Amino acid sequence: MSESKVKFELVSPERLVLSEELNMVVVPGAEGDFGVLPGHSPMISSVRPGVINTYVDGTITSKIFVAGGFSEVTGSRCTVLAEVALPVDEIDRTLVEAELKECLEEINRNNDPLSQKEAKTNVEIAQAKLKALDSPVYQ
């Protein structure tokens, strides 16, 4: 591996989604987005719903929505274990808007704390998907 590259692996429960050598990857961390370059300090972070952008030669090569998870970073590697991972261009706006409406209705009609928490989490994920579709890309 080149010293100007970082090994990036994105894993979902179903499969290895992506495994590439990149110049940089930007991950939606719980405390805010963070970029990983070669030589990054080791760290572990939770991942919030959002988009992972991968860069090669200053250009975004992939935009992948993740619904949450964890990341581990070393000086030469970044691994993200995601609950859900799918390319942004595969998100169906109509389906997500319907999911969001259903989750909001579930919050209003159900008083069970566990069901409310699950519905609120699903609202956050749906809102993050819509934001991913509407957000400008870092270039």
Residue 77, domain member (yes or no): yes
Residues 34 and 70 in one domain: yes
Separation of alpha carbons 29 and 69, rounded Å = 9
pLDDT at residue 135, rounded to an integer: 81
The pLDDT tens digits of the residues spanning 33-77 come to 999 999 999 999 999 999 999 999 989 999 999 999 999 999 899
Quick count: other Cβ atoms within 10 Å of Cβ 89? Answer: 10
pLDDT at residue 1, rounded to an integer: 54
Stated pTM of the model: 0.88
Residue 103 pLDDT greater than 90, yes or no: no
Q: What is the DSSP string of 84-120?
A: SEEEGGG--HHHHHHHHHHHHHHHHH---HHHHHHHH
Residues 37 and 13 in one domain: yes
Determine the structural domain holding residue 12 and report its residue range: 6-88
